[in-house]
Structure 1
Amino acid sequence: VQVGTIGLINAIDRFDPDRGVQFPTFAMPTVVGEIKRYFRDNVRTVHVPRRLHELWVQVNSATEDLTTAFGRSPTTAEIAERLRIGEDEVLACIEAGRSYHATSLEAAQEGDGMPGLLDRLGYEDPELDGVEHRDLVRHLLVQLPEREQRILLLRYYSNLTQSQISAELGVSQMHVSRLLARSFARLRSANRIDA
């Protein structure tokens, strides 16, 4: 509210009725601009704890002092030594300081030819589909008898043929085929119930 009031006062100071523009039409962009400027300059995109913010101010000050003294940007170790804190704290402060500036979705990412964040929105990661599929299968598999679990694992995770499974379990290949069919029927049924 206070920032909007400042914008309104600025609009009153700059308003010229001789220009033929109504005051609300002139004032609205000024007030909105003042509010946007305030958020841009003073509001963090992520909340940073007070202690870390106060330390961030000290890290910035030390960085400026050391840059002047050395004629180059100081290392993390040099900043930490100056403030008598750990390097990990310096790094945490630097990271916290970045919360003041949001990255545009359209900004190019590091590296040549890398797509921006906007280009990756909605991108489906095929690896994620595999993880979801494995989790679903694992959830359904535990509902089967141990023998059927083992046959499915041998067939689809160890990539054994039905003949190899029958030799390992000491049963006929036809019996393995029947057990696989029964397992699939149970999995389909369990999946319908869970859905």
Structure 2
Amino acid sequence: MTMLAAPASTTASPSATIGALKRHFRDAAWSMRVPRSTQELLLSIPAASSHLTQLLGRPPTSVELADHLRVSVDVLLAAVAAAQVYRLPSLNEPVVGHTTAARMDLIGAVDPNNTSIDDHLALASLVAALPPRERRIVTMRFCDEMTQERIAAEIGISQVHVSRLLRQAFAQLRVGLLASADTPAVEGPPYARR
């Protein structure tokens, strides 16, 4: 005679359902992936802040709150920043303070500095390829914003020689930039024509 096992319950227990819902909201409700430790810290901040406010008689500072939660200030601030990605705002949502503008209307302009990124990258390698003295003079002139007279005094050559070396360096840089960009030759900037 064999005994049959009792059929398993087909209904979920309340604790299993609540646990499944908590896991779902913890893992799927965020707009971006946020580590679980950050999510848990974020949930404990309001209670800790309320507790410290009652103890101190004033709102706690970030340092006091971080000490109370036994985390660093950076971790605390990262958790607070993570709260902003729980629900990202819609691009079609009206912006507070504007009567007709949607968020999409206020973002997305082309950054005018984007066009010069390639030139800056190419120029950096071309400056690095200059002979050491010319590289130093160019750096002193444009990074340190020194005058030709001051460069001449520091290096121990005449101002005329500094001007000549700058002109040579500009010519070499111009040739290198034009070769890398395949653009028509243009006259150098006004500061190069001294």
The two structures have a TM-score, normalised by structure 2, of 0.47
Which structure has greater helix proportion?
Answer: 1
TM-score (structure 1 length as normaliser): 0.47
